[in-house]
Amino acid sequence: MTDPFSIIKTELPRDRWGRPLITPPDGGETVAYQRVTTFVGALEDTYHLSLWSQRMVALGMANRPDLQLAASAITDPTDQYAKRTLNDIAKSAREAAGAGAAATTGTALHTLSEKIDRGEDVGTVPAAYLPDLEAYRRVTKYFATLAIEGFCVRDDLRVGGSYDRIVQFTAEGLDQYEREHGERLCYPGPDADGNIRAGLGDEVQPGDTMIGDLKTGNVDFGIGKIAMQLGTYANSVDYDHTLGARTPLVGNPSKKWGVIVHLPAGTGAARLIFVDVAAGFDTAYVLAVGVHAWRKRKDLSFPFASVQVHADLGPSLVEQINAAPSYKALESIYQANAEKWTPGLTTLAKARTAELAAS
Three-class secondary structure of residue 216 per DSSP = coil
DSSP, residue by residue, 148-205: EEEEEEETTTTEEEEEEEEEEE-HHHHHHHHHHHSS--B--EE-TTS-EETT-SPBP-
**CA torsion angle for 155, 227, 269, 180 (degrees, to 10)?**
-100
- Burial class (CB within 10 angstroms; exposed 0-12, middle 13-18, buried 19+) of 199: middle
**pLDDT at residue 102, rounded to an integer:** 77
pLDDT of residue 220: 84
Along the 359 residues of the chain, how does pLDDT read in single tens digits?
444 444 446 789 999 999 999 999 999 999 999 999 999 988 877 788 788 889 989 999 998 999 999 999 988 888 888 899 999 999 999 888 877 777 788 889 999 999 999 999 999 999 999 999 999 999 999 999 999 999 999 999 999 999 999 999 999 999 999 999 999 999 999 999 999 999 999 999 999 999 999 999 888 888 999 999 999 999 999 999 999 999 999 999 999 999 999 999 999 999 999 999 999 999 999 999 999 999 999 999 998 998 887 777 788 889 999 999 999 999 999 999 998 899 999 999 999 999 998 88
Beta-strand ranges (E) seen in the chain are 21-22, 31-32, 34-35, 143-154, 159-169, 189-190, 196-197, 209-215, 237-240, 245-247, 257-262, 271-276
Tens digit of each residue's pLDDT (9 = 90 or more) over 329-339: 999 999 999 98
SS3 303: coil
Q: Give CA angle at 87 (84, 91), nearest 5°.
A: 140
- The residue ranges of every structural domain in the chain are 21-170+207-295, 317-358
CA–CA separation, 245 vs 261, rounded Å? 30
Q: Give 286's DSSP letter.
A: I
Question: Which of 295, 226, 306, 241 lies closest to 45 in space, CA to CA?
Answer: 226
Q: What is the pLDDT of residue 1?
A: 40
Cβ(189)–Cβ(223) under 8 Å? no
The Cα–Cα gap between 37 and 47 comes to 17
Give tens-digit pLDDT for 3-34.
444 444 678 999 999 999 999 999 999 999 99
CA-to-CA dists, residue 189 to 198, 213, 219, 257, 330, angstroms: 7, 21, 21, 12, 83
Contacts 24+ apart (CB under 8 A), 291-298: 291/42, 291/43, 292/34, 292/39, 292/42, 295/42
DSSP 14: B
- For 107, 118, 128, 208, the CA distances from 124, given in Å and listed in that order, are 16, 17, 12, 34
Q: What's the rounded Cα separation, in Å, for the pair 330 and 113?
A: 79
What is the pairing mode between strands 159-169 and 143-154?
antiparallel
**Per-residue confidence (pLDDT) for residue 276, from 0 to 100:** 97
pTM: 0.76
pLDDT of residue 9: 60
| Cross-strand pairs, 260 | 213, 273
- The pLDDT, as a whole number, for residue 78 is 87
Spatial separation of the C-alpha atoms in residues 104 and 109, rounded to whole Å = 9
